[in-house]
Structure 1
Amino acid sequence: YFGQPHILVRFMGIRSAKEIRPARYIAMVWVLLSLAAAVVVGIAGRSYLGAKGIILSAVDSETVFMRLVTDLFPSLIAGVLLSAILAAIMSTADSQLLVTSSAITGDFYQAVFRRGASDRELLWVGRVTVILIALVAGLLASDQNSSVFKLVSYAWAGFGAAFGPVVLLSLYWPKMTRNGALAGILTGGLTVVIWKNLSGGLFDIYEIVPGILLSLVTIVTVSWLGKSPNTEITDEFAAVASENKK
């Protein structure tokens, strides 16, 4: 989805604006390769295990890569490949934890409750936040009836519907306002939660679709009805757009 926090922070930490253009192509190619490889692994695993008379359940099917690795490769190579799974998990987990912690610490705790909080206080709030989020993640993962795919699908729908439209419009539509962005975030997130708990007919559509559509409509509507962005914002938008065209 558009606006993935753990991807955006990589671009925000880039050394030079000139490196953004090649970086985005590298990112897109890598995503295409990794997703294509995941599909190939799934097809290969289904064929290989099916030929051996093994039928995996919805939960067990998520271990098909590990099953293929342990069956087809020597122990040393299998160990290296399995460690790659842990590396990918740790890479994503630390990014998500840090992004969430910094958002709660800076955008919520400091902005709403303690504007004059010291750096040491914010540091401890961030650490406690990381621990709490990790505990919640552990509780979600302990559900035997759930699966990684379902959890990720639901989480991505929420993130995508809440932040995707805002990120896109902030890049290409200079008339978006602060209130429009906030309304879009709330609408997208709430739509996903409500849609997920309904079923049948139209509600069987993946919840990110109605979430993004309603978020876009809300952002545009609220922005048009409210005050236009001030000149400073529009001038900055025009300057960045001009720089990107070079």
Structure 2
Amino acid sequence: MKIYIITIKSMINKVSYVVANWELTISNKGEKPHKNPNKLDWNQNSRRCFINGCSNKVYKTKMSGLCKDHEYHQFDLLLSLLDPSGVNHSIPAHHDMINCLMDWSSTRNFPLSPFFEKLSFAILGNVPDISSLSGEVTYEKYKVKELNEIFESSKKVVEQFFPESNNSSFQPLSTKKGDIPVIVLAHVLMSLIVCEEANRGDRWHCRTIRKDESKTTQLGGAMPIVYFAARSFNWGVEMKNVARNFTPN
């Protein structure tokens, strides 16, 4: 599986790779940046906005450390998908992909819990927020990983459970956006979880910079995994439709 990296102006590396002749690309093309949930000034010892190059002043009591101009991330990771003919393919909703994978796995006695568990360990808390990834926020004692490094470790989880050497990995599954092979669907889901963790999460910042993961306030990339957990648990009541509330719109 070949990966090639293209550097773009935002200082975020665009990551592209091909699996089963489908091309996945993760880049900074989103147009709806989310609010930055990080508490950059949790010690409340600065009056300057923490975004590099910004001279705006903020109140010391404002733990975000961000001025009104920078309360939202300036960037947003977005996933795009090309089918084998090179045509842009719409990406299914998180819950649609998970439902398809669960239906497929149930016919093959292939439990998905270990897959989602390893995804959570590989991704959650290990993906810097998009402002840190872009270099807008830097840290004296910590060098932020690049996006391609993060995807290399996350991809290994998918490859472990859905190897290219296994023919069943190429079975097409019928999503609401059209047929997509199992292996491609798994890579798309993993990529979306990484994007959500960067765009909406604060777990990395709490774990790595604040050294206290319990301060985490956002689900971030955990949202799709929570949906799978909600679907998998034996509630004793119907939860399939209600569980969709756990996934991003």
What TM-score comes out, normalization by structure 2 length? Answer: 0.28
Choose between structure 1 and 2: higher strand proportion.
2
What TM-score comes out, normalization by structure 1 length? Answer: 0.28
